[in-house]
């Protein structure tokens, strides 16, 4: 199936809504998907950096607010 979207004609809010719909749909099929091995390697590297105090983290609600501010 091929779906064509006129992305240039969509607002940022419409694009984000579409992404949210896609992620919601994908989450219902999560058990059918296995991420590639390199995903796990990246996560392990980041966890090691976090535990070593070389990187930090941001509260999810703060991160969402910052993202919304950047895209609006």
- Number of folded domains that form the chain: 1
Residue 1 domain flag: no
Please report which confidence band the pLDDT of residue 51 belongs to, taking 50, 70 and 90 as the band edges.
very high
Q: What is the DSSP string of 10-66?
A: S-HHHHHHHHHHHHHHHHTTGGG----HHHHHHHHHHHHHHHTTSS----HHHHHHH
Res 13 pLDDT > 90: yes
Mean pLDDT, residues 17-40 taken together: 92
Model pTM greater than 0.75?
A: no
Residue 7 domain flag: no
Residue 8 domain flag: no
Residue 2 DSSP one-character state: -
Residue 45: which of 36, 33, 54 has the closest Cα?
Answer: 54
Residue 41 domain flag: yes
Residue 52 domain flag: yes
Could you tell me the residue range of the domain that residue 53 belongs to? 13-28+35-71
Q: What percentage of the chain carries pLDDT values higher than 70?
A: 100
């Amino acid at each position: 199936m091929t779906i064509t979207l006129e992305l240039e004609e969509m607002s940022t809010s419409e694009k984000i809504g579409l992404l949210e719909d896609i992620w919601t749909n994908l989450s219902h099929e999560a058990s059918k998907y296995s991420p590639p091995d390199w995903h796990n390697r990246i996560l392990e590297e980041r966890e090691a950096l976090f535990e070593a105090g070389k990187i930090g983290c941001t509260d999810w609600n703060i991160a969402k607010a910052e993202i919304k501010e950047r895209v609006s």
